[in-house]
């Protein structure tokens, strides 16, 4: 424990990252069980209340408490981003490991496919998937996962190519270690430092992508709150109720900045 | 410092004054805008419209969003004025025989098409025969199907014989008059007699019309050119208004209006739209009348009005505009304008759903008002154990799946009325092609036909009142309100007229000096 704190003290990036993401994740976790007010209850008397101690971030056009909705929205955004990165990361490791280690014609085909996917702007690609499968939380996760997989494949693959001819792998092979064991027990642990950074970056991109998709009105649907959707709703009231747009906007900045610092911290630590 | 303070004070003053102006505009419900300053001829105006047009052929166009534009290009023998009454347009006079079967139209002398040709009796005959289906068997305008023959009496007189008497039929003669034989080209090069002529159309972008110099009404139109620009999102409209790329936007939400009232003229009047949570009567569990009634009870019209319309709308409980006074019957007491959760729960239990039901509300996402209404209603229904999920879809998807395909559970939308009282009610007949809620009631059908055939206005009104009551009792849909039309217009524009029908009449709009 002491060692962890010592490290944090030295590594200011890590410290700031841990604090910022810590707060965000904590709020999101709390929102599962409790929010200061209901996130959907409307109140005509409290339409567009400015931020106050009663409503920390003010209220929106339906008199709903924005702080509660931001908490819930952060939870949704983090959950979706996590699932996207988990799915895309797992697929990335599997595909990247196999193609990187074995190479050959399959590698060639898979890489061209990832090139093709990379060629499209990610939002556009996700849009295509959503229009084919219909909107909704599940499909949003799947479509974003598809979009994010190629970047993981590339990183994992290049690491596997670098390590497959390393001396210790050669030795293991000579000793008759099974291929799967070499892949996932000998090589995989050694690429984690690089992989973690890309996971963090991927996580950030997933947050932005999810917000972007919700902003465009696809993905998670009302009355569920997500940060992107709140931002889009708030846009009509920019001058009359600026806090409505500021709250979800700054929350996205906070999340992305937190995870950026965290990934920078991890990179420097490694 | 002092200077800053005075600027602030000036700003506050402007805000306060703007507020006043907005309020008076809304409460008095002026029929035309009260812009000061002399009208000047010339100039061009960009009007923001909400949806793409479905057809440039005036006889084929059905979407309200298309008709509101085509009103400027085409005219019928008669047309509707801003009071909802009929005035003569291409005709200078019309007579209806006592038995209601023969209509005699005298044509106006000086009416010219946009291509410069004079309107002749031939053109009128062709247009009416095309619209009524006498030409090729398919009636493009269904209400004109009753026409038996169109006869040219002399160069300036046309006689129309119809199969059955109907006092509302005269309203159908607003059908556009187009040059004889031009039906094939109507889609590509629309030619009419209206105050503006068609110039160009780009899908998804908009339509441009130019002044018709030979228009029969002296002194109209004022403007040289009008562009109807399609703006899919209300947020974009706000930005476009502020940025100056559109001059008039006729579909403001209450909150947008309050945001723009300092820099724009804000005008409001009751619309001709009935907004409702339409219930697909053929879809379980909504095929059970008790479930539909439960939804009506759980729906709180007052708070929808408060949240979405700023308290400016008129709650209704059936498909009729309160402004059509002779035909309207007040039914708001049936389910109340507030929420009656207990009654709703009781009805759901009686219907066999003591634990509530799941509901999907499909909304066309380009209509901010409907989306916001959906959010409010979903919250209200929750209290009665109805778990509503909102499914926003694009306008074309909505038209295809909900309106034409009838594949939906519930949807929030508006139906528009023209100047005839039967217009809103005709779609709820069992066999009507527009009956997208699948309402089926034999009594309703029977009384509707009686109303149509009745020549006595009092008796007719009575039938209409009865079928409104049936529609409400059977909870054909959960009717909500008649929203106000709120428009934003540049300060130096004037002459905008509100119509009881859904049109944007640009002929009287002018720039001031």
Residue B69 counted as domain residue: no
Is residue A236 a part of any domain in this protein?
A: yes
B17's tokens: 């004054």
Of B238, B382, B391, the CB nearest to A221: B391
Structure tokens at B206: 């908009």
How many Å lie between the alpha carbon of B236 and the closest alpha carbon of chain A? 9
Residues of B with CB under 8 A from a CB of A: 234-235, 238, 253, 255-256, 258-259, 303, 306-307, 365, 368, 371-372, 374-376, 378-379, 382, 389-392
Phi, psi of B78 (to 5 degrees): -125, 160
- Answer yes or no: is pLDDT of B510 > 70: yes
Contact A223 B256 (CB under 8 A): no
Give residue for tokens 């490290």: A7
Containing structural domain, residue B512: 31-53+194-270+485-513
Domain annotation covers residue A265: yes
| Chain A residues within 8 A of B394 when measuring between CB atoms | none
Mean pLDDT of B66-77: 87
CB contact under 8 A, B390 and A240: no
pTM of the model: 0.71
Residues B266 and B277 in one domain: no
Integer CA distances (angstroms), A131 to A72, A89, A121, A134, A149, in order: 26, 24, 16, 5, 19
**Cross-chain Cβ contact B368/A236 below 8 Å:** yes
Distance CA A261, CA A265 (A): 6
Residue of A nearest to B372 (CA): A62
User: Edge to edge, what strands does the sheet with B493-494 contain?
Assistant: B39-40, B510-512, B493-494
Q: How far is A218 from chain B (nearest CA, A)?
A: 9
Q: Are residues B499 and B446 part of one domain? A: no
| Residue B15 pLDDT | 39
Is residue A58 within 8 A of residue A49, CB to CB? The reply is yes
Q: What is the pLDDT of residues B111-168, one digit of tens each?
A: 888 888 888 888 888 888 888 887 787 777 777 888 888 888 888 888 888 888 777 7
Q: Let me know whether B47 and B136 are in one domain.
A: no
Q: Using the beta-carbon criterion (under 8 Å), do B306 and A44 form an inter-chain contact? A: yes
Calpha distance B377→B410 (Å, rounded): 12
Closest chain B residue to the Cα of A231, Cα to Cα: B235
Kindly report the nearest CA distance between residue B273 and chain A, in angstroms: 23
Task: Determine the average pLDDT of the residues in B15-31.
Answer: 37
Q: Answer yes or no: is B371 within a domain.
A: yes
Domain membership of residue A262 (yes or no) is yes
Mutate to test the interface with B, among A236, A241, A242, A245 (most CBs of B within 10 A): A236
| Number of cross-chain residue pairs from A and B with Cβ atoms under 8 Å apart | 52
Mean pLDDT for the stretch of residues B308-336: 85
Q: How many CB atoms within 10 Å of residue A124?
A: 10
Whether residues B305 and B227 share a domain: the answer is: no
Return the CATH number at B312: 3.10.105.10
pLDDT, average across residues A9-38: 87
Task: Answer yes or no: do B20 and B163 share one domain.
Answer: yes
Q: Which carries the bigger pLDDT value, residue A218 or residue A139? A: A139
Binary contact (B255, A62; C-beta < 8 A): no
Six-digit token string for B351:
């219907």
| Residue A102 lies in domain | 10-31+64-269
**Residue A20: its pLDDT value, please?**
92
> Do A235 and B235 count as a contact with CB atoms less than 8 A apart?
yes
Residue B59 lies in a domain: no
Q: Tell me, yes or no, whether B61 lies in a domain.
A: no
Residue B114 falls inside a structural domain: yes
Q: What is the mean pLDDT of residues A71-95?
A: 91
Greatest mean pLDDT among A11-25, B246-260, B446-460: A11-25
Number of domains in chain B: 3
For residues B407 and B424, membership in a common domain is answered with yes
ipTM of the complex: 0.72
Is the predicted pLDDT of residue B22 greater than 60, yes or no? no
CB atoms closer than 10 angstroms to residue B357:
22
For residue B282, the SS3 value is: coil
Shared-domain flag, residues B308 and B423: yes
Residue A156 lies in a domain: yes
Q: Are residues B137 and B208 in the same domain?
A: no
pLDDT above 60: residue A98: yes
Please give the residue that has the higher pLDDT: either A151 or A49.
Answer: A151
B431 with B353, same domain: the answer is yes
Is A62 in CB contact (< 8 Å) with chain B? yes
Contact B327, B495 (CB under 8 A): no
Q: Are residues B417 and B310 in the same domain?
A: yes
Using an 8 Å CB-CB cutoff, list chain B residues near A240: 255, 258-259
Beta carbons of A244 and A154 less than 8 angstroms apart: no
Distance (Å, whole) CA A134 – CA B400 = 16
Report the residue of B259, B369, B380, B386 to disrupt the A interface, i.e. the one with the largest count of A CBs within 10 Å. B259
Contact A202, A89 (CB under 8 A): yes
For A56-69, the pLDDT digits (tens) are 888 887 888 889 88
pLDDT for A2 equals 67
Tell me if B255 and A223 make a contact (CB, 8 A cut-off).
no
Min distance B256 CA to chain A CA atoms (Å): 7
Q: Which of B158, B189, B220 is the last residue of a domain?
A: B189
In a domain, A161, yes or no: yes
Flag whether B68 is in a domain: no
Query: Which chain B residue has its CA at the smallest distance from A240's CA?
Result: B259
Question: Which residues on A lie below 8 Å from B372 (Cβ)?
Answer: 61
- Shortest distance between the Cα of B165 and any Cα of chain A, in A, equals 50
The residue ranking higher by pLDDT, B246 or A6, is B246
CATH number reported for the structural domain that contains residue B249 in this entry? 3.40.190.10
Contact at CB, A222 and B371, closer than 8 angstroms: yes
Q: Which residues of A52-69 are buried (b: 16+ CB within 10 A; e: fewer)?
A: eeebebbbbbbbbbbbbb
Based on the fold, state whether residues B117 and B173 are members of the same structural domain. yes
pLDDT tens per residue across span B457-470: 788 888 989 999 99
Going by the DSSP 8-state scheme, the letter that residue B112 receives in this structure is B
> Average pLDDT for residues B288-307, to the nearest whole number?
89
CA B60 to chain centre: 17
Determine, yes or no, domain membership for A39: no
Bridge partners, residue B161, by sequence: B102, B149
In a domain, B509, yes or no: yes
- The percentage of chain B sitting over the pLDDT mark of 70, rounded to a whole number, equals 93
pLDDT computed for residue B36 by the predictor:
60
From A228's Cα to the closest Cα of chain B, the distance in A is: 15
CATH value at residue A102: 1.10.3720.10
Across the interface, do B379 and A223 touch by the CB < 8 Å criterion?
yes
B24 located within any domain = yes
Q: What is the mean pLDDT of residues B57-81?
A: 84
Interface of A with B in 14-53 (CB under 8 A): 40-42, 44, 47
B253 and A235 in contact by Cβ < 8 A?
no
Does A232 sit within 8 Å of B235, measured CB to CB? yes
Q: Is A127 in the B-facing interface, judged by CB distances under 8 Å?
A: no
Higher-pLDDT residue of B312 and A248 is A248
- Residue B85 structure tokens: 């009454």
Within this chain, do residues B235 and B295 fall inside the same structural domain, yes or no?
A: no
Domain with residue B9: its CATH number is 3.90.76.10
- Which residues make Cβ contacts (< 8 Å) with residue B404, sequence separation at least 6? B436
The CA angle B313-B318-B322, to the nearest 5 degrees, is: 50
Mutation test of the interface with chain A: which of B11, B22, B235, choosing the one with the most A Cβ atoms within 10 A? B235
Res. B14: pLDDT tops 80 = no
Question: How many domains are contained in chain A?
Answer: 1
């Amino acid at each position: 424990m002491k060692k962890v704190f010592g490290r944090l003290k030295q590594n200011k990036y890590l410290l700031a990252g841990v604090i910022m993401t810590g707060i965000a994740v904590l709020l999101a976790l709390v929102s599962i069980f409790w929010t200061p007010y209901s996130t959907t209850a409307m109140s005509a008397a409290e339409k567009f209340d400015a931020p106050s101690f009663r409503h920390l971030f003010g209220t929106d056009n339906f008199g709903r408490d924005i702080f509660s909705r931001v908490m819930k929205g952060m939870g949704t955004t983090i959950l979706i981003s996590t699932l996207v990165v988990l799915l895309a990361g797992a697929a990335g490791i599997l595909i990247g490991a196999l193609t990187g280690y074995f190479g050959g014609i399959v590698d060639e085909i898979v890489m061209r496919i990832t090139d093709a996917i990379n060629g499209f702007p990610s939002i556009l690609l996700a849009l295509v998937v959503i229009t084919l499968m219909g909107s909704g939380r599940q499909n949003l996760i799947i479509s974003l996962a598809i979009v994010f997989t190629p970047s993981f494949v590339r990183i994992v693959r290049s690491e596997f190519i670098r390590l497959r001819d390393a001396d210790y792998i050669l030795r293991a092979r000579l000793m008759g270690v099974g291929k799967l064991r070499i892949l996932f027990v000998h090589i995989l642990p050694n690429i984690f430092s690089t992989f973690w950074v890309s996971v963090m970056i991927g996580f950030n991109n997933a947050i932005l992508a999810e917000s972007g998709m919700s902003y465009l009105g696809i993905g998670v649907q009302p009355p569920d709150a997500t940060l992107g959707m709140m931002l889009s709703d708030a846009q009509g009231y920019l001058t009359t109720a600026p806090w409505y747009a500021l709250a979800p906007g700054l929350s996205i900045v906070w999340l992305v900045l937190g995870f950026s610092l965290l990934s920078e911290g991890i990179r420097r630590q490694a | 410092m002092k200077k800053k303070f005075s600027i602030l004070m000036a700003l506050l003053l402007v805000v306060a004054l703007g507020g006043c102006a907005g309020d008076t505009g809304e409460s008095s419900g002026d029929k035309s805008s009260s812009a000061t300053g002399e009208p000047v001829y010339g100039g061009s105006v960009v009007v923001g419209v909400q949806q793409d047009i479905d057809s440039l052929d005036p006889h084929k166009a059905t979407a309200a969003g298309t008709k509101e534009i085509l009103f400027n290009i085409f005219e019928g023998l008669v047309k509707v004025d801003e009071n909802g009454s009929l005035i003569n347009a291409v005709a200078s006079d019309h007579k209806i025989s006592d038995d209601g079967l023969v209509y005699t139209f005298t044509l106006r002398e000086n009416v010219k098409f946009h291509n410069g040709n004079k309107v002749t009796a031939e053109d009128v005959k062709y247009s009416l025969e095309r619209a009524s289906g006498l030409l090729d068997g398919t009636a493009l305008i269904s209400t004109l199907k009753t026409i038996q023959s169109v006869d040219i009496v002399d160069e300036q007189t046309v006689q129309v014989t119809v199969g059955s008497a109907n006092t509302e039929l005269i309203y159908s003669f607003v059908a556009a008059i187009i040059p004889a034989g031009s039906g094939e080209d109507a889609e590509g090069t629309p030619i009419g007699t209206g105050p503006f002529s068609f110039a160009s159309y780009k899908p998804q972008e908009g339509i441009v019309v130019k002044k018709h110099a030979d228009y029969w009404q002296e002194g109209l139109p004022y403007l040289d050119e009008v562009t109807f620009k399609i703006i899919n999102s209300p947020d974009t409209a706000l930005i476009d208004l502020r940025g100056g790329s559109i001059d008039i936007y006729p579909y403001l939400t209450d909150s947008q209006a309050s945001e723009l009232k300092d820099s724009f003229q804000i005008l409001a009047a009751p619309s001709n739209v009935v907004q409702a949570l339409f219930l697909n009567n053929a879809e379980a569990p909504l095929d059970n009348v008790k479930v539909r009634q439960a939804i009506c009870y759980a729906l709180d019209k007052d708070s929808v009005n408060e949240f979405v319309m700023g308290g400016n709308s008129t709650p209704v409980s059936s498909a009729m505009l309160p402004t059509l006074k002779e035909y309207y019957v007040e039914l708001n007491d049936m389910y109340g304008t507030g929420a009656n959760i207990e009654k709703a729960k009781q009805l759901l239990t009686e219907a066999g759903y003591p634990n509530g039901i799941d509901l999907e509300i499909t909304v066309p996402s380009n209509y901010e008002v409907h989306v916001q209404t959906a959010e409010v209603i979903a919250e209200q229904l929750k209290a009665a154990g109805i778990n509503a999920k909102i499914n926003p879809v694009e306008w074309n998807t909505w038209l295809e799946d909900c309106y034409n395909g009838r594949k939906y559970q519930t949807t929030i939308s508006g139906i528009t009325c023209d100047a005839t009282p039967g217009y809103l009610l005709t779609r709820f007949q069992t066999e009507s092609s527009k009956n997208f809620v699948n309402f089926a009631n034999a009594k309703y059908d029977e009384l509707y036909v009686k109303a149509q055939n009745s020549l006595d206005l009092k008796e007719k009104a009575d039938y209409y009142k009865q079928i409104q009551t049936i529609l409400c009792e059977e909870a054909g849909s959960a009717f909500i309100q008649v929203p106000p039309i709120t428009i934003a217009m540049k300060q130096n524009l004037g002459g905008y007229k509100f119509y009881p029908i859904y049109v944007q009449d640009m002929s009287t709009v002018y720039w001031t000096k």
